Amino acid sequence: MVSCGGGASSVIGGPRKGAEVLYAAFVTPNGGGPGGTIVPMSLNTSSGALTALSPVGGPGNAVKIVVDSSRTSLYSSDFNTGMLYAYSIHPASGNLTPS
């Protein structure tokens, strides 16, 4: 897994076997309050093209995105509030469901 912190988003590689999914966290303006978004994107490994899947609500000021070793859960924390957001990862699509 690869993650990138700082700036306006965090990114991490995805969970599906046989397919690649990238997750990006988009924060609210100035990182204030709730209202951020986590967007799963399928990656075409031949062309490098990304296709957005179904976005879900996330931390307003995401610090990091982490996928567990079983690739069934995703977690993201909020820098301002200290809250932890948890999601289940759909095994076939890579889409997220808040836990």
In the three-class reduction of DSSP (H, G, I as helix; E, B as strand; rest coil), residue 39 is classed as strand
Distance separating alpha carbons of residues 86 and 65, to the nearest angstrom: 10
What single-letter DSSP state applies at residue 44?
-
| Number of domains, the chain | 1
Angle CA 79–97–83, to nearest 5: 20
Containing domain of residue 20, as a range? 3-98
Angle CA 65–93–78, to nearest 5: 20
Q: What is the pLDDT of residue 12?
A: 54
pLDDT confidence band for 56 (50 / 70 / 90): very high
pLDDT confidence band for 24 (50 / 70 / 90): very high
Q: In the predicted model, what is the mean pLDDT of residues 58-86? A: 90
pTM above 0.85? Answer: no
Q: Please tell me the chain's helix, strand, coil percentages from 3-state DSSP, rounded to the nearest 5.
A: 5, 50, 45
Q: What is the pLDDT of residue 94?
A: 93
pLDDT confidence band for 45 (50 / 70 / 90): confident
Q: If you average pLDDT over every residue of the chain, what do you get?
A: 81
